[in-house]
Chain A
Amino acid sequence: MIFNSLAFFGFIAVFLPLYFGLKGKWRLWLCLVGSYFFYGWWDWRFLSLILTSTIIDYVVGLQLDQTTDEAKRKRMMITSMVVNLGFLAFFKYFNFFIGSFQEMLMGFGMNPSINTLKIILPVGISFYTFQSMSYTIDVYQRKIGVEKDFIRFATFISFFPQLVAGPIVRASDFLPQFQKDREFDWNRVTAGTGQILLGFFKKVAVADSLAPFVDQCFAAPGNFGSLHLLIGVIFWSFQIYCDFSGYSDIAIGLARVLGFDFPDNFKTPYFSKNFSEFWQRWHISLSSWLKDYLYIPLGGNRSGSFGSVFFLVIAMILSVFVTRWWWLIPIYILGTIWIMYRLKKDAKTRARTFTYMNNMVTMLLGGLWHGAGWAYAFWGFLHGLYLIGQRVFGPPWGKLLDAMRTPKFIQNALAIAIVYFLTCLAWIFFRAPTFDIAEQVISGIVGFEGFSFGAVVNQFWVAKGVILILILLSIEIANLKFTFYKVVQENPIFRVISFAGLIWLIAFFGTFGSNSFIYFQF
């Protein structure tokens, strides 16, 4: 079931009165049954996957709590990881692994015939798997206590507002909120409704209105001129932002109506002045997850680990043989020599080098989390490169601008523009179905040929897209100063005007047809 469908409105119309009418255990049961119904609406067969993950992590949690034998605890934790990552590996990455292996063998001159399987990707598997895993790791590390109530635990894993596209909520944040009944609170309902409306505006009006133009550009870039493609890429950057942050807003708003607090998932990311900041503003729940459960265990910005070296070597070998971009080999060799040279230097240089390596591994795996394809890995690679580049070139660049006495606001504007430009460049690989198409889009833009839009309908899409992006940006700029839902909660006049304004905008600009959310496929 998706939020922008009539089925969801029917579901929520039944769910909400029941939710506030019930108390205690009954309410928990309602949340659980409602969440399973919400997920099963898409394909009930995959409920068994969530249930299996839930049972295993619940049992592992209890076992971890009951024993002090560290070896046994470790075995239990590994069991949970194997099952969770096993599901993810099979349903999401099986064909990718097989295909890459096949491509690699072909790179060696062999011609293997290995069959792939027709596997349906369960919606939201990456989200609930990460949420479930974080619970087990936290219990293992004794950061949180074990949850002994199975219904409460199962509701935490499957809670419908954020089940299929996040935000990924930590057990330490979310489970305690189930301890007592959330009372009906008008203030929360109004604040939550405001955020839901904002989410619908982003998704239904902005993202879905930009989609046709973007689809057209990435379907056959050879048919379009430079300006057309450039606008297509800019529109895509806003489409994916509005699609995903719109979902997060609806999920967070819905949770707020129900009495729960979820952390923010997006904070005006396109106003970031560097890439570290970007990742603290974009899909915050994933980037903080990757930081806590991957980057820091790899050594963070202090040391390296066997894991980061191993993964980098594998990634280098695979990328060469799968893409057959042989020119990568000398670059990798030079990179390896550079790394080895730096590792022999002082502790500070070593720590910095490990930071670069860990950044790269985290971003590569973050890219692969989004989708089973080399394009996603390349997107992650670019972001890894940006983070490293920022650490290497950021300080001298800042000094240069200071030396030139560049005013601070120009420095900031320049930084925002550079980050946005490089982010868009990476988005091209994220969106293009193949590297070939991505290359066509880029060469089409830099070719500086063709500045017309062809069919008149393209002009409508551009005009509508520009108007919507300007409205969005004004909301975003306002959001830099104050938090929308808080003002909605506190100021009734602003509430009435903003609610009415958003509903008018949705009615006049919305694209209605139950278009799915992009992040569902992740």
Chain B
Amino acid sequence: MWIPALIVLLFIGDRAGGWVLEQMTKSSNFRYSRMYYQNADAEILLLGNSRGLMFYQPEVEKLTNKKSFNFSYNGMPIQMGSALVKDYLDKYEKPEILLVDITCADRNNAALIAGMSAYAPVSQRLQDLIQEVNPTAAGAAKLTHLFRYNSEIWQRAMRYIKGSDETWLNDREINQFMIDKATVEKPLDFTFSSEKELNPADLMNNIKSLVNYAKSKDIKVRLVVNPYYPPFFNRSNGFENWKDNVEKIVGQKVNDYSTALNDPKYFTDYQHCNKLGSIEYLKLLKRDGLLD
């Protein structure tokens, strides 16, 4: 007797809880909530992983006088970015520019992709992607609606339940401890070793597919490499080769700003600029015509 009662209670509680969490997600000011449930019209689209947050939106809009929308998210792999941008292009008026920091195509991140379950009910592309990279999570999200919201991405949506996320950026200065360790830290590796679970062909094809999709909609696509902290980045492995591969496969120039900024005051850590650095970097992009 108690087992049927438990099943009924489990189901009702799960669906009721899921519904409440869905309403909260819809009302958030977080980028993907705005994009899927509200209005996110923009003329400039910005894409990257956490390094894509260097496309500091208030400054982009100040320099260009154009509305921007940033898809970037910590650790975002290109497959996820590609699905999001394509969803956007299907839903909204065509923007002018798509600016992509291609270093989001240097790794996979199945856990983060699974975390997009909160938005999967309104995106077939996300559903397919989650099913492809993490079928167990896809199945679990169908079984229990509470599980859909068990992710950092949803927590981030709750973080922006009130305020805007357009100023999202780590704004502190790199500390002396990190500066001292920059030359002994494990270097970045762009050589796609199997231990990183990378499939280089897949990643490259995803950039290519995204670029072609955007171009088919008559959008100007700009590929860039955002700045790294040079003493750290100069020890990385295989970067030039990797960048050449991207250019060859995608058939488009990559604008390399990896060592464009030198002063430690521009960085929050080895891979991210702070607000000051981001503003400086965006000025370079403007100077070089990449925001026009």
| A interface residues with partner B (beta carbon < 8 Å) | 6, 190, 222-223, 454-457, 459-460, 463-464, 492, 495-497, 499-500, 503-504, 507-510, 512-513
Contacts and interface: CB of A to CB of B under 8 A. Distances in A.
A495 B137 contact: no
Contacts, number: 58
Given A222-B177, A223-B175, A456 B10 contact: no
Nearest to B178: A223
B152 A513 contact: no
Interface stretch (B100-108, B142-150, B186-194, B199-207): B142-150
Nearest to B136: A6
A454 B172 contact: yes
Contacts of B159: 456, 459-460
B191 to A, nearest CB: 24
B152 A457 contact: yes
16 contacts: A6-B136, A190-B2, A223-B178, A454-B170, A454-B172, A456-B156, A492-B2, A495-B2, A495-B6, A496-B9, A497-B9, A500-B6, A504-B146, A508-B150, A512-B137, A513-B111
Contact of A507 (B111, B146, B152): B146
B74 interface: yes
Nearest to A497: B9
A456 B9 CA distance: 35
B149 A508 contact: yes
Closest 8 pairs between A and B when the two form their complex, measured CB to CB? A460-B155, A507-B146, A508-B146, A507-B144, A492-B2, A507-B147, A500-B9, A222-B177
Given A455-B170, A460-B152, A460-B156, 17 more contacts: A222-B177, A454-B172, A456-B168, A457-B74, A460-B155, A492-B2, A496-B2, A500-B9, A503-B10, A504-B13, A504-B14, A504-B146, A507-B14, A507-B146, A508-B150, A510-B150, A513-B111
B184 interface: no
Interface in B164-199: 168, 170, 172, 175, 177-178
Contacts of B6: 495-496, 499-500
Contacts of B2: 190, 492, 495-496
Contacts of A508: 17, 146-147, 149-150
Contact of B17 (A454, A455, A504): A504
A510 B175 CA distance: 34
A454 to B, nearest CB: 7
Interface in B2-34: 2, 5-6, 9-10, 13-14, 17
A454 B50 CA distance: 14
B147 to A, nearest CB: 5
A455 B1 CA distance: 49
Contacts of A457: 74, 152
A455 B156 CA distance: 12
A16 B103 CA distance: 49
Contacts of B111: 513
B135 to A, nearest CB: 11
Contacts of A223: 175, 177-178
Nearest to A209: B150
B173 to A, nearest CB: 12
A459 B170 CA distance: 13
A459 B14 CA distance: 26
A72 B156 CA distance: 69
Interface residues of B, number: 29
A503 B144 CA distance: 10
A229 to B, nearest CB: 14
B2 to A, nearest CB: 5
A457 to B, nearest CB: 6
A290 to B, nearest CB: 40
A465 to B, nearest CB: 12
Interface in B76-123: 111
Interface string B119-143: 0000000000000000011001000
B177 A464 contact: no
A83 B75 CA distance: 50
A497 B149 CA distance: 22
A513 B150 CA distance: 13
Contacts of B137: 512
Contacts of A454: 170, 172
A48 to B, nearest CB: 30
Contacts of A503: 10
Nearest to A452: B172
B10 A500 contact: yes
Nearest to A456: B159
Contacts of A500: 6, 9-10, 13
Given A509-B150, A513-B111, A464 B155 contact: yes
Contacts of A459: 159
Contact of B150 (A222, A463, A507): A507
A496 B11 CA distance: 12
A240 B14 CA distance: 29
A460 B158 CA distance: 10
A508 B155 CA distance: 11
A460 B2 CA distance: 36
Contacts of B149: 508
A238 to B, nearest CB: 19
Nearest to B9: A500
Contacts of A496: 2, 5-6, 9
A497 B9 CA distance: 8
B160 to A, nearest CB: 10
B112 to A, nearest CB: 12
A222 B178 CA distance: 9
A507 B154 CA distance: 14
A349 B111 CA distance: 61
A137 to B, nearest CB: 45
Nearest to A511: B150
A205 to B, nearest CB: 10
Contacts of A507: 14, 140, 144, 146-147, 150
Contacts of B144: 507
Contacts of B168: 456
A162 to B, nearest CB: 27
A223 B269 CA distance: 11
Contacts of A460: 152, 155-156, 159
A471 B261 CA distance: 47
A372 B284 CA distance: 55
A500 B6 CA distance: 7
A222 B149 CA distance: 33
Contacts of B136: 6, 512
Contacts of B155: 460, 463-464
Contacts of A504: 10, 13-14, 17, 146
Contacts of B14: 504, 507
A324 B178 CA distance: 29
Contacts of A463: 155
Most chain A beta-carbon neighbours within 10 Å: one of B5, B150, B168, B177: B150
B197 to A, nearest CB: 13
Contacts of A455: 170
Interface in B23-64: none
